[in-house]
């Protein structure tokens, strides 16, 4: 599954609160391949290679949990992703259907 999502980093490994200055929302083209969520920055092209920075942004979704961010009201269609090493991300989807589709895909790989 691929598509554009807006990401906010909420917690770093071990659940440590992500420091100010690194908590902003950023748009990525997301590619879910196996157990890895690749986050590609910049303009999307089908033939584009993942950059070194894109690989650093990649997230393992092995033993992760995605769920609707019902307590987050500043933006619509936002879901949480909590990873096995207790990072927490917020992702904003373009609509409710896409949000649900990402949650289901992440939780059922």
Q: Which residues bind ligand I3P (CB under 6 A)?
A: 20-25, 74
Beta bridge partners of 78: 92
Q: Residue 92 CB, nearest distance to ligand I3P (Å)?
A: 10
Between 23 and 63, whose beta carbon lies closer to ligand I3P? 23
Q: Which is nearer to ligand I3P, 68 or 105 (CB)?
A: 68
Residue 99: CB minimum distance to ligand I3P, A: 16
Q: Are 89 and 26 in contact (CB under 8 A)?
A: no
Q: In what order do the strands lie in the sheet with 59-60?
A: 59-60, 36-40, 26-33, 2-11, 88-92, 78-82, 65-68
Smallest gap from Cβ 47 to ligand I3P, in A, equals 32
**CB of 21 or CB of 34, closer to ligand I3P:** 21
Smallest separation, CB 86 to ligand I3P (Å):
17
CA separation for the pair 26, 24 (Å, rounded): 6
Of 106, 105, 101, the closest CA to residue 89 belongs to 106
CB nearer to ligand I3P: pick between 24 and 34: 24
Q: What is the DSSP letter of 48?
A: P
């Amino acid at each position: 599954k691929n598509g554009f999502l807006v990401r906010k980093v909420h917690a770093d490994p071990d659940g440590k609160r992500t420091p100010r200055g690194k908590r902003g929302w950023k748009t990525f083209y997301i590619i879910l391949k196996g157990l890895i969520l690749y986050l590609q920055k910049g303009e999307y092209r089908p033939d584009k290679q993942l950059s070194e920075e894109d690989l650093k942004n990649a997230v393992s979704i092995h033993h992760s949990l995605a769920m609707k961010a019902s307590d987050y009201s500043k933006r619509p269609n936002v879901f949480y992703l909590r990873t096995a090493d207790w990072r927490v991300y917020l992702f904003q989807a373009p609509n409710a259907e896409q949000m649900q589709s990402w949650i289901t895909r992440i939780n059922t790989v």
